[in-house]
Homo-oligomer: A and B are copies of this chain.
Amino acid sequence: MGAVKGKRMPRAVREQQMMDAAVRTFGQRGYRAASMDEIAELAGVSKPLVYLYLNSKEDLFSACIKREADALLEAVRAGVDPSLPADAQLWSGLRAFFVHTAENPDAWSVLHRQARSHGEPFVTEVSGMRDGIVAFVTGLIGAAAREAHSDPALADRDVAGLAQALVGAAESLAGWANDTPDVSAREAAATLMNFAWAGLENLMHARPWTPPAG
Please report A residues at the B interface, Cβ cutoff 8 Å.
32, 86-87, 90, 116-119, 123, 141, 144-145, 147-148, 150-152, 154, 157-158, 160-162, 164-173, 175-177, 180, 183, 187-188, 191-192, 195-206, 209
Contact = CB atoms under 8 A, between A and B. Distances in A.
Contacts of A158: 191, 203
A198 B194 CA distance: 11
Number of copies: 2
Contacts of A151: 206
A192 B200 CA distance: 11
A201 B206 contact: no
Contacts of A204: 86, 144-145, 147-148, 150, 154
Contacts of A173: 161, 164-165, 168
24 contacts: A87-B200, A119-B119, A144-B204, A145-B204, A151-B206, A154-B203, A160-B180, A162-B203, A164-B169, A164-B173, A164-B176, A165-B169, A165-B170, A165-B172, A165-B196, A168-B169, A168-B173, A169-B169, A169-B172, A171-B172, A197-B200, A198-B199, A199-B200, A201-B209
Contacts of A161: 173, 176-177, 183, 187-188, 191-192
A206 B150 contact: yes
Contacts of A175: 164
A188 B203 CA distance: 22
